[in-house]
């Protein structure tokens, strides 16, 4: 078993606390501890023993509330969405299985599948059609050897949303061959309008949904995520969790319960921030309209730009980091060269300064 390098996470881990302007971040501006806790004194008597391996029943029930047909027994609390994704795939895939990944996509599941010895087939959203799903291509890709179909809803890096008809089409195509769907829904709730993206939860009895507090809730530092699945898959994931993180962090889970009990308010906060800050990025992009092309994001604080500047994306990113202390994600990290993913959920001052740094780099390219 050998996992490929996770290039985007390696870059971010190396540089996110060293650059002045991190525009690679894909969530909304983080909350402070005082904002998240509301009453810090109330946490003072908490004993810092081990938490329950599955997560507390209260936390699991709060997650189940916004996943159709789920109860607490269908929920496993994890250390971030990343652990949920890992457990979902690692307890499902055997060497020689086939995994479909709808691309572009956060490359974690792609890499895990390869590391587990699966054959990965890619089905690409159509950029020329606003990053829409090619349903015919998806149906043609899924076959009798397909064990899982991996999707990101809303999509990272494009910020686009699968429609209800898309969800039905994916479910029907997977069900026809008995394949599972693993839906990473960590950006769900950060739509720019008030219509929450269609979830895969409850769409069939072979669906695993993952999510967490990092992108929409502004709480990435808590490292709390979840896996929502049929009870037997939750049990399998819990058994493997004995080999990974064992249990959630006690204080993090208590803060997660506060956040989840305030979910409507935090979704409102996220939508306010993405709508307040998207125009800053949009106005900047308009000044480079000859070189940039983009589809306006519908969800999340990210936009995926194609560009015509005379430099490949990793070289562009490296020059931006080392010369201008600013970071964006090169498209090559999504197997989509000549693209850049730029976040806009950070403070307006950081966003404007980072975009000004990109301007300086672009000017130097001639």
Residue 292 has pLDDT above 90, yes or no: yes
**Its pTM surpasses 0.95:** yes
Instruction: Specify the CATH class of 46-261 in words.
Output: alpha beta
Closest CA to 61 of 239, 331, 216, 253: 253
Closest CA to 148 of 202, 85, 197, 79: 85
In the chain the first and final C-alpha atoms are separated, in Å, by 45
- Mean pLDDT value across residues 272-292: 98
**Placement of tokens 């730029």 in the chain:** 342
Residue 273 has pLDDT above 90, yes or no: yes
- Give the model's confidence band at 301: pLDDT under 50 very low, under 70 low, under 90 confident, else very high: very high
What is the pLDDT, as a whole number, of residue 196?
Answer: 95
Kindly tell me the sign of the dihedral angle through the C-alpha atoms of 50, 263, 344, 315. Answer: positive
pLDDT in tens, 318-346: 999 999 999 999 999 999 999 999 999 99
- Mean pLDDT value across residues 158-183: 98
Residue 1 has pLDDT above 90, yes or no: no
- Mean pLDDT value across residues 28-45: 91
CATH 3.90.1150.10 fits 7-31+265-361, yes or no: yes
Residue 366 has pLDDT above 80, yes or no: no
What is the pLDDT, as a whole number, of residue 194?
Answer: 86
**What are the φ and ψ backbone dihedral angles of 251, each rounded to 5 degrees?**
-65, -40
How far apart CA 60 and CA 242 sit, in angstroms, is 18
- Mean pLDDT value across residues 124-141: 97
What is the pLDDT, as a whole number, of residue 38?
Answer: 84
Sorted by where each begins, the domain ranges of the chain are 7-31+265-361, 46-261
| DSSP 8-class letter at 271 | H
What is the pLDDT, as a whole number, of residue 41?
Answer: 85
Question: Percentage of the chain surpassing pLDDT 90?
Answer: 97
Closest CA to 354 of 15, 21, 29: 21
Mean pLDDT of the chain: 97
Residue 203 has pLDDT above 90, yes or no: yes
- Mean pLDDT value across residues 173-185: 98
pLDDT in tens, 224-267: 999 999 999 999 999 999 999 999 999 999 999 999 999 999 99
- Mean pLDDT value across residues 156-162: 98
**What are the φ and ψ backbone dihedral angles of 273, each rounded to 5 degrees?**
-65, -45
């Amino acid at each position: 078993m050998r996992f490929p390098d996770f290039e985007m996470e390696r870059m971010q881990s190396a540089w996110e606390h060293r650059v002045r302007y991190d525009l690679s971040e894909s969530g909304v501006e983080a909350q402070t501890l005082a904002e998240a806790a509301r009453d810090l004194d109330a946490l003072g008597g908490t004993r810092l023993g081990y938490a329950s391996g599955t997560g507390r029943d209260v936390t699991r029930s709060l997650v189940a509330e916004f996943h159709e047909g789920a109860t607490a027994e269908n929920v496993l609390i994890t250390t971030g969405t990343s652990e949920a994704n890992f457990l979902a795939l690692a307890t499902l895939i055997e060497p020689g299985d086939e995994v479909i990944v709808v691309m572009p996509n956060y490359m974690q599941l792609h890499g895990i599948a390869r590391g587990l010895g699966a054959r990965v087939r890619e089905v690409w959203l159509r950029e020329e059609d606003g990053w829409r799903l090619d349903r015919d291509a998806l149906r043609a890709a899924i076959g009798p050897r397909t064990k899982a179909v991996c999707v990101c809803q809303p999509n990272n890096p494009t910020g686009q949303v699968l429609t209800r008809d898309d969800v039905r089409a994916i479910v029907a195509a997977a069900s026809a061959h008995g394949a599972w769907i693993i839906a990473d829904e960590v950006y769900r709730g950060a739509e720019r309008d008030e219509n929450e993206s269609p979830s895969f939860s409850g769409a069939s009895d072979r669906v695993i949904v993952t999510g967490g507090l990092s992108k929409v809730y502004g709480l990435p530092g808590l490292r709390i995520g979840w896996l929502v699945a049929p009870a037997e898959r939750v049990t399998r994931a819990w058994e493997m969790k004995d080999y990974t993180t064992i249990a959630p962090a006690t204080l993090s889970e208590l803060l997660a319960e506060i956040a989840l009990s305030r979910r409507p308010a935090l979704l409102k906060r996220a939508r306010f921030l993405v709508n307040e800050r998207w125009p800053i990025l949009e106005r900047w992009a308009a000044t480079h309209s000859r070189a940039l092309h983009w589809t306006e994001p519908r969800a999340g604080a990210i936009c995926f730009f194609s560009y015509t500047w005379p430099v490949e994306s990793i070289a562009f990113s490296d020059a931006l980091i080392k010369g201008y202390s600013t970071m964006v994600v090169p498209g090559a990290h999504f197997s989509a060269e000549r693209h850049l993913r730029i976040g806009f959920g950070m403070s307006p001052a950081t966003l404007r300064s980072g975009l000004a740094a990109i301007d300086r780099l672009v000017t130097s390219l001639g």
